[in-house]
């Protein structure tokens, strides 16, 4: 089952793991960030890293240079670099499915990675198609509807939203994923069938939700007088035969060595290519390739994806933090948390190792979040004063990239001022999480909203913050296609790193199958009412739902 993977011990069976346990007991459990900055004012310099397009400040995390050394020992003992190289070379590192994992080949220049000819032939064809759609925008198509789910939705949707200001002004992009008709119907309601292009995106072309939505869209199209299905429906899939059976003649293919959640760089990226055009899509790939080179070549101690993955292991397995909150301070990145949920939780939400042995330690944290500043007015209360410490990942973008005008100078100035407010908010949150506020400090302050006559000491306790809450801050100069490509690849490799250390297969997803199979059994029962053999809860609910 581990064919293709260089032999390596699982993390908990290494000397470094034992050393980390000792280090945690001596220096980790009671680590205080404020003391750490007092002891070592150069923490920011020693614990910040530079990677292509992304600067990372790790200094507000509960680790120091010594911790990092122990973690790097762990990476070496687990042969992280050999595992990385095996993946990049096209070894079948997805051992349970006997597949290579080569999303990196999709963004490599021709000749720099396996399968270059196939990759570039498809890329060129897809980009030429995208350019044709763009050239006729307005007179040809005005609306593009991507129908897909999971990796065939989240990546393209996230990227198109993030780079909205780089999008084609005459093309409206829509994403329909849920089998719930409340997703599809409001989109269809606004469309003109003569001006709509549907992209059916599905690696397998068998996914229930996508097939149901695609069939409903085709039925709507023909009922509304549409005649040319072959012109109005195209597909991105590895299952060209099934797409043809659907009536689709324009298909952009990809390969089984591209995992669904790693597929936005492939034909699944067609909506991105249509929105951004060839230049934008190639810049996205280029940014990811730059991060791939960094991951492949930078020494581990300066290798940002590797270090973030090691920090994730430190937090999950030693500090016991069970979740990580992502706070992108950029409205365009509003779908990033959802995208990262699939990337990280579908990849590393596993409880057996490569040999199928149950793991005695925790794996994927829960990843969640909202863009800043919105999250501040919702759940940040819990991050600041709740009983659990949740590491937060701030993403700050130095310069805004508002779309083309016309905008008058006064509005332009206001938008820039608001961007400074945004940045100040992000900085303030990470500072407040770390510094906190003692009860004594709180007692010296006036609390205008405190109840009249309330005991000041009691109010001060309510208004104090423990602090020492960890965070990482990633800084981009501007949210461009290249920068976003690098950021996404950073997350992919970070997930690879923690998965490799945990000794799991980050590239299968057997966990989604049980529910799918049970759904097939329950679907006809909703019509027939047959509850034979069902547990009492499911039977009762089914009866209630009919």
Catalytic residues: 346, 377, 516
Compare residues 344 and 346 and give the one whose CB is closer to ligand F6P: 346
- Minimum distance, C-beta of residue 67 to ligand F6P, in the bound complex (Å): 34
Q: Which of 58, 149, 274, 488 binds ligand F6P (CB under 6 A)?
A: 149
Contact code string over 390-429 relative to ligand F6P, x by CB under 6 A: ----------------------------------------
Q: Which stretch binds ligand F6P (CB under 6 A): 108-116, 149-157, 393-401, 421-429?
A: 149-157
Sheet of 143-147, strand order: 172-176, 143-147, 196-201, 233-237, 250-253
- In the DSSP assignment, the letter for residue 437 is B
Compare residues 260 and 371 and give the one whose CB is closer to ligand F6P: 260
Could you give the dihedral angle defined by the CA atoms of residues 310, 150, 121 and 493, in that order, rounded to the nearest 10 degrees?
A: 0
CA dist., res. 384 & res. 389, Å (int): 8
- Minimum distance, C-beta of residue 512 to ligand F6P, in the bound complex (Å): 4
Contact between 376 and ligand F6P per CB under 6 A: no
- In the DSSP assignment, the letter for residue 538 is H
DSSP state string for 233-278: EEEEES-HHHHHHHT--EEEE--TTS-GGG-TTTGGGHHHHHHHHH
- In the DSSP assignment, the letter for residue 388 is S
- In the DSSP assignment, the letter for residue 392 is E
CA dist., res. 64 & res. 47, Å (int): 8
Q: Which of 151, 193, 372, 481 binds ligand F6P (CB under 6 A)?
A: 151
Residues 426-455 that bind ligand F6P (CB under 6 A): none
Compare residues 174 and 203 and give the one whose CB is closer to ligand F6P: 203
Residues 200-239 that bind ligand F6P (CB under 6 A): 202-204, 207, 210
- Minimum distance, C-beta of residue 482 to ligand F6P, in the bound complex (Å): 25
Compare residues 218 and 330 and give the one whose CB is closer to ligand F6P: 218
Contact between 260 and ligand F6P per CB under 6 A: yes
CA dist., res. 461 & res. 474, Å (int): 33
Contact between 512 and ligand F6P per CB under 6 A: yes
**Count of residues near ligand F6P by CB under 6 A:** 14
271, 156 in Cβ contact below 8 A? Answer: yes
Shortest CA distance to 447 belongs to which of 16, 455, 232? 455
- Minimum distance, C-beta of residue 242 to ligand F6P, in the bound complex (Å): 10
Could you give the dihedral angle defined by the CA atoms of residues 107, 110, 115 and 120, in that order, rounded to the nearest 10 degrees?
A: 70
Q: Which stretch binds ligand F6P (CB under 6 A): 39-47, 143-151, 385-393, 462-470?
A: 143-151
Contact between 497 and ligand F6P per CB under 6 A: no
Q: For residue 473, list its beta bridge partners.
A: 57, 394
- Minimum distance, C-beta of residue 509 to ligand F6P, in the bound complex (Å): 5
- Minimum distance, C-beta of residue 178 to ligand F6P, in the bound complex (Å): 12
Compare residues 206 and 458 and give the one whose CB is closer to ligand F6P: 206
Compare residues 266 and 480 and give the one whose CB is closer to ligand F6P: 266
Tokens of 488: 């996404």
Q: Which of 14, 67, 146, 152 binds ligand F6P (CB under 6 A)?
A: 152
Half-sphere exposure of 341 (CA within 13 A, CB side): 13
- Minimum distance, C-beta of residue 152 to ligand F6P, in the bound complex (Å): 4
CA dist., res. 465 & res. 143, Å (int): 49
CA dist., res. 312 & res. 364, Å (int): 9
What's the Rg (C-alpha) of the chain?
Answer: 25
Q: Which of 4, 150, 167, 328 binds ligand F6P (CB under 6 A)?
A: 150
Residue 228, helix vs strand vs coil? coil
**Phi and psi, residue 12, nearest 5°:** -75, -5
- Minimum distance, C-beta of residue 151 to ligand F6P, in the bound complex (Å): 3
CA distances from 172 to 26, 91, 273, 433 (A): 57, 40, 13, 40
Contact code string over 323-352 relative to ligand F6P, x by CB under 6 A: -----------------------x------
Half-sphere exposure of 259 (CA within 13 A, CB side): 26
- Minimum distance, C-beta of residue 367 to ligand F6P, in the bound complex (Å): 16
CA dist., res. 221 & res. 242, Å (int): 20
Q: Is the peptide bond before 326 cis (omega within 30 degrees of 0)?
A: no
Contact between 196 and ligand F6P per CB under 6 A: no
Q: Which of 43, 99, 172, 261 binds ligand F6P (CB under 6 A)?
A: 261
Compare residues 157 and 509 and give the one whose CB is closer to ligand F6P: 509
Tokens of 376: 């501040």
List residues binding ligand F6P (CB under 6 A). 149-152, 202-204, 207, 210, 260-261, 346, 509, 512
């Amino acid at each position: 089952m581990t064919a293709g993977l260089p032999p390596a011990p699982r993390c908990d069976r290494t000397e470094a793991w034992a050393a980390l346990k000792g280090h945690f007991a001596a220096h980790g459990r009671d680590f205080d960030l404020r003391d750490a900055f007092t002891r070592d004012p150069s923490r920011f310099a020693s614990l910040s890293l530079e990677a292509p397009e992304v600067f990372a400040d790790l200094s507000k995390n509960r680790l120091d240079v010594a911790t990092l050394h122990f973690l790097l020992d762990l990476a070496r003992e687990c042969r992280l670099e050999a595992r990385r190289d095996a993946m990049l070379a096209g070894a079948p590192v997805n051992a349970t499915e006997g597949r290579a994992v080569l999303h990196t080949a999709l963004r490599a220049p021709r000749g720099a990675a396996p399968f270059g000819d196939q990759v570039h032939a498809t890329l060129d064809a897809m980009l030429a198609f995208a350019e044709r759609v763009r050239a006729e925008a307005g007179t040809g198509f005005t609306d593009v509807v991507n129908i897909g789910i999971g990796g065939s939705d989240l990546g393209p949707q996230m990227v198109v939203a993030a780079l909205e200001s780089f999008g084609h002004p005459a093309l409206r992009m829509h994403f329909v994923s849920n089998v719930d008709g409340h997703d599809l119907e409001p989109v269809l309601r606004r469309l003109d069938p003569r001006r709509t292009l549907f992209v059916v995106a599905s690696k397998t072309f068998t996914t229930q939700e996508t097939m149901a939505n695609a069939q409903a869209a085709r039925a709507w199209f023909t009922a509304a007088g549409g005649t040319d299905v072959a012109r109005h429906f195209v597909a991105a899939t590895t299952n060209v035969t099934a797409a043809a059976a659907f009536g689709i003649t324009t298909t952009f293919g990809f390969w089984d060595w591209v995992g669904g959640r790693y597929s936005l760089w492939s034909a699944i990226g067609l909506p991105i290519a249509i929105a951004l055009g060839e230049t934008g899509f190639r810049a996205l790939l280029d940014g990811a390739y730059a991060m791939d080179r960094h991951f492949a070549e930078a020494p581990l101690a300066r290798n940002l994806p590797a270090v973030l993955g090691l920090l994730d292991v430190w937090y999950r397995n030693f500090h016991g933090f069970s979740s990580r909150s992502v706070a992108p301070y950029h409205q365009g990145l509003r779908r990033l948390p959802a995208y990262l949920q699939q990337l990280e939780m579908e990849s590393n939400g596993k409880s057996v190792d490569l040999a199928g042995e149950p793991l005695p330690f925790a794996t994927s944290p829960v990843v969640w979040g909202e863009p800043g500043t919105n999250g501040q007015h919702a759940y940040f209360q819990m991050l600041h004063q709740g009983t659990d410490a949740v590491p937060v990942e701030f993403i700050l973008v130095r310069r805004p990239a508002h779309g083309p005008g016309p905008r008058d100078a006064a509005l332009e100035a206001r938008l820039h001022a608001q961007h400074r407010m945004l940045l100040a908010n992000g900085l303030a949150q990470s500072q407040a999480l770390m510094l906190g506020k003692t009860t004594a400090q709180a007692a010296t302050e006036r609390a205008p909203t405190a109840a009249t006559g309330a005991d000041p000491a009691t109010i001060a306790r309510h208004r104090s913050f423990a602090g020492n809450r960890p965070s990482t801050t990633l800084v981009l100069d501007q949210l461009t296609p290249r920068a976003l490509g690098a950021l996404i690849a950073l997350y992919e490799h970070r997930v690879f790193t923690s998965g490799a250390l945990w000794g799991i297969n980050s590239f299968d997803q057997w966990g989604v199958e049980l529910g799918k199979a049970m759904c097939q059994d329950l679907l006809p029962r909703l019509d027939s009412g047959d509850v034979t053999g069902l547990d009492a809860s499911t039977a009762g609910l089914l009866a209630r739902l009919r």
